[in-house]
Amino acid sequence: MILHIDMDAFFASVEQLDRPELRGQALVVGGDSGRGVVAAASYEARRYGIHSAMPMFMAKKRCPRLVIVPPRRGRYSEVSRLVMAILERYSPVVEQVSIDEAYLDAAGCGRLYGTPLDMARAIKTEILDKVNLTCSIGIAPLKFLAKIASDMQKPDGLTVIDREAVSAVIAALPVEKVPGVGKHAHQQLRQMGIATLGDVRKSGRTVLVKRLGKFGHRLVDLAHGRDEAAVTPHSPTKSISTERTLSADTRDRERLKQHLLAQSQEVGRQLRRQRFLARTITLKLKDRDFKQTTRSVTLDHPSQSSETIYRTAESLLAGQALDKAIRLIGVGASALIADTTPQQACLFPGIEKKESGWERIDRAVDRIAERFGHSAIHRGSLTPPDDRSMD
């Protein structure tokens, strides 16, 4: 049996945890600029039909007294690590799939924790006791069903789909509830008269593959109760990035550089926290017509220095013609290696020494931010933009 653990309204719940005066209020986390969107909504806000990814102006129309708080990703990551540490006590096979959800394989854990249901109850109790937040857990013999089950009785839910019930549950399951069925696939299935996985069973594999491509094969397998996806722990990080949709389109390079500086600091902080060095730095731009451009460069020496990331991204921006105003900008680091890997001696000792100085400054800033919050210290040249992260 597989458990899917999903924290309830995670970002909003953390804000209400840290600020008791916000408990019971309709609250959303997100940017309050012209293009801000809801990153998370409390259950009080959801009663007004507010949900994640909704434009903020629409959310405010639905609830004029809506409380809007900016995201604190560092704090959410801190709480997430506490939750994941609890899960890893119950099973060596835990797959974290996002900041607030994970799969857990219960195989072989019965002697210590009893049935999967006993384990789920213990996990919920420990998370509530130690983190003071609720979660919802789904239990099923198939991975995709465990995820669906965790959403059936939110918040603070616990749903079990026994092996004997799998066939009936699958037959009645609306296709839009199946992970991977987006708007386009749902529209295609609806045009074919397919509303449930039971309907998928009655359809030919060839027809579904013709309409949906490779996903058609997976949909047929799921409809017949075949899901070979396993819980895979410790998926290696391949890249670290952040991006931002601007409150107003701009061709002002100084304004764009200001965003690059803030983003480079965040990417560097994550690299250092996760003990990675990056070989490749990428600049991402999206113009007012939604045309996306990415430019990358491979560093001579892998780095986790925020200054190096910024200077590299800045040079990529300098080489980019801004024919149209920019609506989104982002920075990414990839081709990651562990920072314990011995590095080849630098041919230019002066440069290496300079970068080492910046890295020492970075680590000092990290320690201050970890203790007092990211707003406690920042570059003197950086005035925090009012746009909110979209990644």
User: Which residues does the annotation mark as catalytic?
Assistant: 101
Q: How many C-beta neighbours within 10 Å does residue 38 have?
A: 23
Per-residue CA distances from 16 to 21, 41, 67, 168, 206 (Å): 7, 11, 11, 39, 50
Q: For residue 165, what are its two tokens?
A: 């019930």
Rama region for 126: left / alpha / beta (φ>0; ψ in -120 to 50; rest): alpha
Place of tokens 């994941």: 84
| CB 184 within 8 Å of CB 216 | no
Per-residue CA distances from 363 to 307, 354, 370 (Å): 12, 15, 10
Distance CA 22, CA 17 (A): 8
Q: What is the DSSP string of 302-323?
A: EE--HHHHHHHHHHHHHTS---
**Residue from 252, 247, 269, 248 nearest 331 by CA:** 269
| CB 275 within 8 Å of CB 388 | no
Spell out the SS3 assignment of 323-352: CCCEEEEEEEEEEEEECCCCCCCCCCHHHH
Distance CA 31, CA 57 (A): 10
Q: Strands 101-105 and 292-303, how do they pair?
A: unpaired
Residue 50, class by beta-carbon neighbours within 10 Å (0-12 exposed, 13-18 middle, 19+ buried)? buried
Q: What is the dihedral of CA 337, 339, 341, 343, to 10 degrees?
A: 100
Distance CA 348, CA 351 (A): 6
Q: For residue 317, what are its two tokens?
A: 């921006």
Distance CA 288, CA 309 (A): 25
| CB 312 within 8 Å of CB 299 | yes
